């Protein structure tokens, strides 16, 4: 996840942060501005560990899954639609009628027969 997304969706990500760092306080996290530096400094303070260790953990945390609240937000519809294109097979028409999956290679029935 990019830090721009993290900052924009900060309140939705607070539960994930609390799950990873239970020493943190929800109210204090919500007061942060959502930047990596502010989060790292806060977590280093509450966990009493070096900022360098927290930075490494933050890198690992942000590569984890994106919460459903963010993924399914209407603001992300175009991104989700665009990324779904990678699941369309080579040579398949994106506008093809898929009501009968697997019929792409079948011959048409002879005229007059159904």
pLDDT in tens, 75-86: 667 776 777 777
Residue 106, domain member (yes or no)? no
Cα–Cα distance list, 10 to 6, 23, 61, 87 (Å): 5, 18, 14, 30
Residue 109, domain member (yes or no)? no
Which domain range does residue 37 map to?
Answer: 3-85
pLDDT number for residue 113: 75
Nearest CA among 78, 58, 73 for reference residue 11:
73
Mean predicted confidence (pLDDT) in 86-93? 75
Cα–Cα distance list, 32 to 35, 36, 53, 73 (Å): 8, 10, 20, 22
Residue 54, domain member (yes or no)? yes
pLDDT number for residue 21: 93
pLDDT number for residue 6: 86
Residue 102, domain member (yes or no)? no
Residue 72, domain member (yes or no)? yes
Q: Are 35 and 3 in contact (CB under 8 A)?
A: yes
Number of structural domains in the chain: 1
Residue 111, domain member (yes or no)? no
Answer yes or no: is pLDDT of 100 > 70: no
Per residue in 22-68, pLDDT tens?
999 999 999 998 899 999 999 999 999 999 999 999 988 888 766 66
Distant-in-sequence, close-in-space partners of 63: CB < 8 Å, separation ≥ 6: 1
Residue 100, domain member (yes or no)? no
pLDDT number for residue 75: 67
Residue 56, domain member (yes or no)? yes
């Amino acid at each position: 996840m990019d830090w721009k997304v993290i900052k924009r969706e900060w309140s939705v990500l607070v539960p994930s942060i609390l799950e990873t760092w239970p020493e943190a306080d929800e109210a204090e996290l919500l007061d942060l501005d959502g930047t990596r530096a502010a989060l790292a400094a806060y977590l280093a303070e509450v966990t009493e560990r070096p900022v360098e260790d927290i930075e490494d953990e933050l890198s690992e945390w942000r590569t984890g899954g994106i919460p459903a609240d963010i993924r399914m937000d209407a603001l992300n519809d175009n991104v989700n639609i665009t990324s779904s294109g990678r699941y369309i097979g080579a040579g398949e028409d994106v506008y093809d009628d898929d009501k009968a999956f697997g019929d792409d290679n079948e011959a048409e029935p002879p005229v007059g027969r159904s």
